[in-house]
Amino acid sequence: MKKNKAMIFWFSLPAVLCLLIMFVYPVCRTVLMSFFQVESLTASLSDWGFYGLGNYSKIFGSQSFRVSMTNMLLIWLVGGLLTLVLAMLMAVIVTSGIRGKKFFRAAIYMPNIISAVALATMWIQYIFNYDYGLLNEMAKVFGGDKVKWLGSDMKFWSMVISFVFGSVGYYMLIYISGIEGIPQDYFEAATLDGANKPRQFLHITLPLLKGVIKTSLTFWSINATTFFLWTKMFSPIDTEESTIVPVVYLYDTVFGGKGVVTRDAGAGAAVGVVLTAIIIVVYVITEKLFKGGDLEY
């Protein structure tokens, strides 16, 4: 018995050390740093000056940070609604017994196997381009005027649409796994009772997917709060108000960017803590709202 315990200890030790060094320590250091004035991430503890809630007051008093939070909320709310609803619709269609199920599933998921940089470039260069983009070419065919999709007033929504396109397939697979886990006996019994497909979806499929929906909402919340690459692709030179999100604001604050004169690692740490708190709050709320509903075998 002692030998088994010793073996378990030594086998677990590398994983525990990696967890402590690569996850727990950075998290604790970031939370602690958010209460101090720290110019550089690599500054020693002796250079830290206690600042209390000053960093939090600073970021919430920043116009750029407030705009970035608004943009993130719109990405989470509007983008999430579009993504999760479309993903659910695609999953229901693909699992409904249509011909070419494997083809459609692969085709819808395909954007997820393409590099996000390549996907964003495709949208920017071949779909939203003012001179020869697909959307403006279609507008010309139907006698419409060209639209500046990458102009300051449209760039944000163009970015959201392209991001949604690249995300639907991933969440569709999550929903498919949940739908295929529902026993067919439920649907057969409902059919015998005279329930049509929409009623079966509302009263069988949807209630039994609470756990999957909860997971999808959590994943989407993480994606929305860590939204970085797409912003940089749509605003590659300078950070723009139309595309700025908290992670980009954090990056500019810590490493320098447009309008940033003095680097401030403490304020950047405060942004990270706020984003983490948001994810935790969303997770707790979804746990409350979607409690139960999972299948029990």
**Sign (positive/negative) of CA torsion 127, 258, 71, 273?**
positive
- pLDDT tens column, 61-102: 989 899 999 999 999 999 999 999 999 999 988 888 788 888
Which pTM value belongs to this model? 0.86
Structure tokens at 231: 């912003």
- What residue spans define the domains of the chain? 54-289
Spatial separation of the C-alpha atoms in residues 53 and 267, rounded to whole Å: 10
Q: What integer pLDDT is reported at residue 140 of this predicted model?
A: 84
- pLDDT tens column, 192-210: 777 787 888 888 888 888 8
**Band (297; pLDDT cuts 50, 70, 90):** very low
Q: What integer pLDDT is reported at residue 83 of this predicted model?
A: 95
**Band (294; pLDDT cuts 50, 70, 90):** low
Higher local confidence (pLDDT), 112 or 293 = 112
CATH number of 54-289: 1.10.3720.10
- pLDDT tens column, 113-146: 888 888 999 999 999 988 888 888 888 888 878 8
